[in-house]
């Protein structure tokens, strides 16, 4: 029986029994994409020339690679990893593959808090992820509170619908802020769409503490995450505090989304596309899903940002727009497959 079950899992999820292969492939792809990205831009460099310029201070291209392209690649990878893992966590919380921080109001909550912090507390740059986390946490708590009923536990559909409503309100607030502070409209527009333009080492230093903390919390929570995939009665029957775990996982997802929003703005759809694609290969077990989502998200955003700054060079596109062009149709396909009839 065990052999039959194992064979079925292997047929259903090709790398379910060998998640290390998926991690290795995605890791190699991320390294390759990062190396390629370092050579591309308004000024194209060869791989050997880029490698030499990166480590030789006397090379005229050293500053371009070390101070401009390398930190931007690293920020893109961290943002992608955070958004992808946050999406996987939210999908587990609501037991719905259509969940994503950018679609149910979590990222929008972080965005409102970040914009208010930029306007009112411009000197607290390094506290931006923490302030954005506060906004994301309030948004998540509001969604869960609106979804709560005395009759039964929080339901996945109620969370999704409440999140969509909260997101609409938060985007209205963002629109009002953009209108009231029209003198900052260009930077606000880039923040709202999602952009990595101008990302440097300072942004990397800002995002890393929250990103590392959130990813570590996700990694050590894989067992409770697996149990959350069961119905609430079954999960509680094996000793899982379902409500507390759901709140904790929502907080971790909020922290990761806030970290990404604080440096890249409202980049969307990464948390929708990557977890669903990865889950088809490695299966639903979070011990495999979390690391592969992190690497897959990093790879996707690095590739998207490379395309954003090279396809129409020297004109640079916002990376959020390219990801929306990818994620929008993917969301429609998922929605079409999930709807009855």
Poorest-pLDDT segment among 5-19, 185-199, 243-257 = 5-19
Q: Which two tokens stand for residue 108?
A: 């929008």
CATH superfamily of 48-91+98-335: ABC transporter involved in vitamin B12 uptake, BtuC (1.10.3470.10)
Q: Measured between alpha carbons, how far is residue 331 from residues 14, 173, 246 in Å?
A: 23, 25, 24
Give the span between the Cα atoms of 271 and 277, in whole angstroms.
Answer: 10
The answer to whether 108 and 138 are in contact (CB under 8 A) is: no
* Among the listed residues 214, 245, 205, 219, the one whose alpha carbon sits nearest the alpha carbon of residue 75: 205
Q: Tell me, what's the pLDDT at 105?
A: 79
The answer to whether 78 and 66 are in contact (CB under 8 A) is: no
pTM, entire model: 0.87
Q: Which two tokens stand for residue 75?
A: 């920020």
> Per-residue pLDDT tens for 219-275?
999 998 988 888 777 777 777 888 888 888 888 998 898 888 888 888 888 988 899
Q: Which residue has the higher pLDDT, 107 or 339?
A: 107
Q: Which two tokens stand for residue 286?
A: 């979070």
> Per-residue pLDDT tens for 42-60?
777 777 767 777 777 766 7
Neighbours of 178 (CB within 10 A): 17
């Amino acid at each position: 029986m065990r052999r039959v079950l194992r064979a079925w899992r292997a047929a259903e999820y090709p790398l379910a029994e060998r998640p290390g292969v998926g991690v290795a492939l995605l890791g190699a792809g991320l390294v390759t994409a990062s190396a390629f990205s370092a050579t591309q831009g308004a000024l194209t460099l060869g791989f050997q020339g880029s490698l030499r310029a990166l480590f030789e201070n006397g090379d005229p291209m050293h500053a371009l690679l070390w101070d401009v392209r390398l930190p931007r690649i690293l920020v893109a990878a961290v943002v992608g990893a955070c958004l992808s893992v946050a999406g996987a966590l939210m999908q587990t919380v609501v037991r719905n593959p259509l969940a994503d921080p950018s679609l149910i109001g979590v990222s929008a909550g972080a965005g409102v808090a970040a914009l208010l912090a930029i306007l009112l507390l411009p000197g607290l740059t390094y506290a931006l992820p923490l302030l954005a986390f506060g906004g994301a946490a309030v948004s998540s708590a509001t969604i869960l509170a609106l979804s709560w009923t005395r009759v039964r536990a929080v339901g996945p559909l109620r969370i999704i619908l409440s999140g969509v409503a909260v997101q609409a309100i938060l985007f209205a607030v963002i629109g009002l802020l953009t209108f009231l502070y029209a003198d900052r409209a260009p930077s606000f527009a880039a923040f709202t769409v999602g952009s990595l333009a101008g990302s440097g080492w300072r942004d990397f230093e800002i995002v890393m503490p929250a990103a590392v903390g959130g990813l570590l919390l996700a990694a050590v929570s894989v067992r409770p995450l697996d149990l959350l995939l069961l119905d609430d009665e079954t999960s509680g029957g094996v000793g899982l505090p379902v409500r507390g775990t759901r709140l904790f996982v929502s907080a971790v997802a909020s922290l990761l989304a806030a970290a990404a929003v604080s440096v890249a703005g409202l980049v969307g759809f990464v948390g929708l596309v990557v977890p669903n694609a990865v889950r088809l290969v490695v299966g639903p077990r979070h011990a495999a899903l979390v690391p592969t989502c992190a690497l897959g998200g990093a790879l996707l955003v690095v590739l998207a940002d490379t395309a954003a700054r090279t396809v129409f060079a020297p004109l640079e596109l916002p990376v959020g727009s390219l990801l929306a062009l990818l994620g929008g149709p993917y969301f429609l396909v998922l929605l079409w497959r999930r709807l009855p009839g």
